[in-house]
Structure 1
Amino acid sequence: MDELIRTIVEPLVDFPEDIKVTQEENERGFTYILSVNKKDMGKVIGKKGRIAGAIRTIVHAAGRAHQQEIQLTIQE
């Protein structure tokens, strides 16, 4: 799943080497935490959070395809 997140985010950012994806397990499933360079944060979030919402939707749908509950958190 982290490769999927990286594949989606890399073309959006100017500093792809700063992309970090970590995984945490919780009672509902998994939470992936995406961290990018501070200068790229606006590009990943998008206007009114639309890009972030789209990324979360794709990740959630991919998790459902594998019968997993997946959430994505974007962290500075």
Structure 2
Amino acid sequence: MKELVESIAKALVDHPDDVVVSESDNGKAITLKLEVHPDDMGKVIGKQGRIAKAIRAVLNAAGTHQNKRVQLEIG
């Protein structure tokens, strides 16, 4: 999951070296925290949160295959 978020975020931003994803797994749920360069925050969130919502949809689909709930925090 971590690699999936990294590859999506690096494709969207101007500063791909500043993309950092941390993952915590508590058994039934996975929490991913995405950190990007401050100038790229808008590119990852998108207008009215559309990009962030699309990334979350992809993660939820991937999590379904592993029977886990996935939560993405951007900050």
Same fold (TM over 0.5): yes
Question: How far apart are residue 11 of structure 1 and its match?
Answer: 1.3
Distance in 1, Cα, partners of 2:30 & 2:13: 25
Paired residue secondary structure (2:56)? helix
Mapped contact 2:24–2:31 kept (Cα < 8 A) = yes
Of 55-64 and 21-30, more deviation after overlay is shown by: 21-30
TM, length-normalised to structure 1: 0.91
Structure 2: runs of 5+ lacking an equivalent: none
RMSD: 1.3
Q: Which structure 1 residue ranges, 5 or more long, are not aligned?
A: none
Structure 2 contact 28–67 (Cα < 8 Å) conserved: no
Q: Secondary structure at the match of 1:43?
A: helix
Number of matched pairs: 75
Q: Deviations over 1:10-47 (max 9, x none)?
A: 11100000000001234751100000000000000000
CA distance in 2, matches of 1:72, 1:49: 13
1:24 match = 24
Code of the aligned partner of 1:52: A
Identity of aligned residues (%): 47
1:57 aligns to 2:42 (yes or no)? no
Q: TM-score, normalised by structure 2?
A: 0.92
The residue that corresponds to 2:2 in the other structure is 2
